[in-house]
Structure 1
């Protein structure tokens, strides 16, 4: 499974958050696309519309398990996708911004 470290992500990299709604509401990376893993197959078209055609999709969840499943699925579909190692827990621990939909300071649930 292709993976990337949180510290290797740059501002502007396309990020797909596959955590569930309650986790997203608590806090997420600003600018990430949210499609919960439980709805992913039904909402796959949203990703194809939003993702850069020639760019990489960085898939993230809380700790890396669910995002690894989605990243593997995307790779099988021919998408350049990687799993973000350690997920939002490592994201927050690395001091990266976690926000709510209202733009307030969020937290990882």
Structure 2
């Protein structure tokens, strides 16, 4: 039986990951930057410009939102350490998305690289 770690390791062999230092250019070039973490994680701080779509809703949101359904748009994903983003990237590739990138090391690596973080000043409403 495979573990979650096994699934992430396998997914990372099938997706494209970028280093945090290369993420700025990829984000500028992307149609959407997606934070796949949970709401409390997103509200505690996120990469500027990120849209919050939790991992559990990602496929449904992209399938049902005309603005996100174009399979040729460039997407950049991240989570806390890159496991959930790797699984999400693999899933989106299987759905036919052609340009999906995941930030290696996720939000933790982004913060360790001393990159900017947005922290909402209002409490979350969801």
Which TM-score band (shorter chain)? 0.7 to 0.9
Task: Specify the SS of the correspondent of 1:95.
Answer: coil
Task: Specify the SS of the correspondent of 2:111.
Answer: helix
CA root-mean-square deviation: 2.3
Query: Structure 1: 5+ residue runs without aligned partners?
Result: 104-109
Task: Specify the SS of the correspondent of 2:116.
Answer: coil
**Alignment partner, residue 107 of structure 1:** none
- The CA deviation at 1:41 is 2.8
Larger radius of gyration: 2
Task: Report if the CA contact (8 A) 1:2-1:83 is conserved.
Answer: yes
Q: Judge which range, 8-17 or 30-39, deviates more.
A: 8-17
Q: Which has the higher helix share?
A: 2
Query: Structure 2: 5+ residue runs without aligned partners?
Result: 1-14
Query: Does 2:75 align with 1:61?
Result: no
**Of 10, 16, 21, which residue of structure 2 is paired with 1:2?**
16
1:1-21 Cα deviation digits (max 9, x unpaired): 211111112252431110000
**Alignment partner, residue 82 of structure 1:** 101
Task: Report if the CA contact (8 A) 2:71-2:96 is conserved.
Answer: no
- For residues 100 and 51 of structure 1, the distance between their equivalents in structure 2, rounded to whole angstroms, comes to 28
**Alignment partner, residue 73 of structure 1:** 91
How high is the TM-score relative to the length of structure 1? 0.80
Count, aligned residues: 103
